[in-house]
Structure 1
Amino acid sequence: MRGDFTITAETSNKQLAFVEHIVRKLKPGGRAGIVLPDNVLFADGAGRELRRWMMEVADLHTILRLPTGIFYAQGVKTNVVFLRRGRQARGGTRAVWVYDMRAGQPAFGKTRPLRDADFAEFEAAYGADPHGGAARADAGPEGRWRRFSREEIAARADNLDITWLREADEAAEDALEEPADILDAMREHLARAMAEIDGLALEIGGTPAMPEAAE
């Protein structure tokens, strides 16, 4: 057991250990953008503890929900998490801004690759400050850009898989045409369902249906 992985020492989920490693390596004031699959944002157990710790020691100021189909071969949906390591030991995150670039977008894949121009609206919302300190305006429940306070996230059991445009997201999946893309979307829904079942099983003292390594 490695002493530098105190949050994820008991889990076999290498994705969680990868995140802890990055955050611990950041110097005070250092920043990072980390590409993560959805399950890291909603996993219970060690996943929840990792997110809680990360928001204490760092300012996790922005999450970009990437569109469906970018990593279709792996069958996962992904996000970019932007954070800055705090100069103090605690109290790093006051609010998290979430940009949903996934809902209502065309089905990205072999026939529609993601391009630099597709990020223009997110870049404008993010602002010029690389640390996420630029003036920002919440676009409301019909928009792509929302602010969630640390208290609101705590009320969600520190679940950072935040959606509010779900119907449009599902419509984008309905537009998938490539058999491989459709299969990978099905795998993602199954993986999410199994993770939720395992989280409930752990909370009531039961046995998870699948090992963490399978997440």
Structure 2
Amino acid sequence: MTPAAIVSKLWNFCNVLRDDGMSYGDYVEQLTYLLFLKMADERTKPPYNQPSSVPAEWAWPNLIKKDGDELFDHYRHTLENLGNEKGLLGLIFTKSQNKFQDPAKLRRLIVDLIDKENWSVMSADVKGDAYEGLLEKNAQDTKSGAGQYFTPRPLIQAMVDAVAPKPGETICDPACGTGGFLLAAQDYIVQHHPHMTKDELKQLKEGTFQGCELVQSTARLCAMNLMLHGIGGNGSRLPLTVGDSLAADPGDRYDIILTNPPFGKKSSTTIVAEDGRVAKEKEIIERDDFWATTSNKQLNFIQHVKTLLKQNGRAAVVVPDNVLFEGGAGETIRRKLLHECNVHTLLRLPTGLFYAQGVKANVLFFDRKPASETPWTKKLWIYDLRTNMHFTLKTNALGRSDLDEFVTLYHAGNLRQRATTWSEDSPSGRWRCYDYADLIARDKASLDLFWLKDDSLEDSDNLPEPSLLAAEIVADLEAALEQFRLIAEDLGESELES
């Protein structure tokens, strides 16, 4: 059965469950528990004959032979007991709950939909892609909030294509969500290096990837996603940590960082950096490796990514516009980053890409470099995919082909071969560069640079469709409201402190 057919089969059943009040997110989570139990049982049989990590009392054979209220009680006790286990079992089942309302529907999912497939004999591509399909459908259910953990796959693929990972390189996503960047990097390496040795393949599965995710329920989905794609060896250990990435320097260093940190300004903790300033918050964390203290999570993630990189390691990070122009700590961090790293590329993203509304974002590409008295950044190349570009999640979604020109002009093999498509004679070119001296001389060292004329401002005949205009207005209003909320929170905290 194809991934699309499996997704369709499993997803159609969710429509039945929605009548019982189960959300898409709840459904995918229940599937995660049951798929894990089914595959754990499959691995105990020929040709695998592996010992099960699941205690016999809570294993699949005991679950499938029960029905009615007995099934309900047994399923609830299964989730509770496995949640107390250590390792992978604990990661997937911690705080798990039965969200079914009708024992008959739970029974149907177990017997008719999951038990009838042999998931272990499916290739990692088939079952992994099927699960990815479910996660994407879940992300489209914006009311559940799941979309904030889901980066559009065409954008992920383009970022990975630009960074071009190789066998033997270590790859980390410190805000990994459901694992999209790690899986896309794995796909890239396999496709571009088809003749890897047995040792290289083992290293790819067991020693290449590391993720960190703060939200337990999202980490659960990520763990299952990685396991279904064959990452983590035999499944006894998954390269995933549940916790706050920003809490401390983990000590590990990586060749590549690919990440889309969560949007939103406020951090749940306060970072005290080398500048010594402290913002009042409930919890204070000292980070000597940070250049500046700020409650802006994205600015803190930029500093964290710099720390995680090996010398000459390369990073691609999704950042909102405010990271490019915000003053204070933002200016300090940009100046330090331009000096200590080679900040060589900025991709300006169009609106309408993310499930979180009101987001104007970019991708910042930089390489960490050794200490130097002279700045490492010589030129910043910018590709503007935003001006006069209009995308929506449903009617005009971003495709990988929309990023083909950027990836080609990026020149992953040799950045020195880059050539601008913009000139005074070709003012519509989307690709141009700025020298370090020009960047550092700008007010607050702002990297918020653009040069293309907005056609809609020049000629009313070029206005986008009314539906696109309305969507952009809504997005701008929601972004403004979010900023006002943050200001209100800060004012409230100031009054409490005084």
TM-score above 0.5, yes or no: yes
Alignment-derived partner of residue 121 in structure 1: 405
Which residue of 477, 485, 490 corresponds with 1:186? 477
The 3-state SS of whatever aligns with 2:409 is helix
Distance 2:418 2:403 in 1: 19
Q: Which amino acid aligns with 1:149?
A: D
Aligned-pair identity in percent equals: 37
Distance 2:291 2:465 in 1: 40
The 3-state SS of whatever aligns with 2:417 is coil
1:159 paired with 2:446, answer yes
Judge conservation of contact 1:8–1:16 (CA < 8 Å) in 2.
Answer: no
Shift of 1:209: 8.6
Which residue of 380, 385, 394 corresponds with 1:110? 394
Which one scores higher on RCO, CA 8 angstroms, separation ≥ 6? 1
Judge conservation of contact 1:71–1:77 (CA < 8 Å) in 2.
Answer: no
Q: Which amino acid aligns with 2:437?
A: E
Judge conservation of contact 1:103–1:165 (CA < 8 Å) in 2.
Answer: yes
Distance 1:150 1:169 in 2: 32
Cα RMSD after superposing both structures:
2.9
1:169-180 residue pairs with structure 2 within 5 A?
174-175=464-465, 177=467
Distance 1:210 1:173 in 2: 37
1:26-175 residue pairs with structure 2 within 5 A?
26-71=309-354, 73-90=356-373, 91-129=375-413, 132-140=415-423, 141-157=427-443, 158-168=445-455, 174-175=464-465
Shift of 1:143: 1.2
Pairs aligned (count): 196
CA 1:109–1:56: 2 relative to 1, 3 Å: same
The 3-state SS of whatever aligns with 1:136 is coil
For residues 90-142 of structure 1, give each alpha carbon's deviation from its aligned partner in whole angstroms, at most 9, with x where no partner exists.
41101100000111113333211111111011112111327x33332352243
CA 1:88–1:38: 2 relative to 1, 3 Å: same
Relative to the length of structure 2, the TM-score reads 0.36
Shift of 1:166: 4.7
Range 41-50 or range 81-90, more displaced = 81-90
Which structure has the larger Rg over C-alpha atoms?
A: 2
Range 137-146 or range 155-164, more displaced = 137-146
The 3-state SS of whatever aligns with 2:347 is strand
Distance 2:438 2:472 in 1: 34
Distance 2:442 2:350 in 1: 23
Q: Which amino acid aligns with 2:402?
A: D
Structure 2 residues without counterparts, runs of 5 or longer: 1-271, 273-285, 492-498
Relative to the length of structure 1, the TM-score reads 0.79
Judge conservation of contact 1:76–1:184 (CA < 8 Å) in 2.
Answer: yes
Range 73-82 or range 133-142, more displaced = 133-142
Shift of 1:174: 5.0
Range 18-27 or range 86-95, more displaced = 86-95
Distance 2:378 2:422 in 1: 19
CA 1:165–1:56: 2 relative to 1, 3 Å: same
The 3-state SS of whatever aligns with 1:83 is strand
Distance 2:453 2:435 in 1: 21
Judge conservation of contact 1:107–1:176 (CA < 8 Å) in 2.
Answer: no
Judge conservation of contact 1:61–1:83 (CA < 8 Å) in 2.
Answer: yes
Range 92-101 or range 65-74, more displaced = 65-74
Range 132-141 or range 150-159, more displaced = 132-141
For residues 42-77 of structure 1, give each alpha carbon's deviation from its aligned partner in whole angstroms, at most 9, with x where no partner exists.
100000110000111100000000111112533111
Structure 1 residues without counterparts, runs of 5 or longer: 195-207
CA 1:134–1:211: 2 relative to 1, 3 Å: farther
Q: Which amino acid aligns with 2:292?
A: T
For residues 164-195 of structure 1, give each alpha carbon's deviation from its aligned partner in whole angstroms, at most 9, with x where no partner exists.
1252476898546165543112344x48x98x
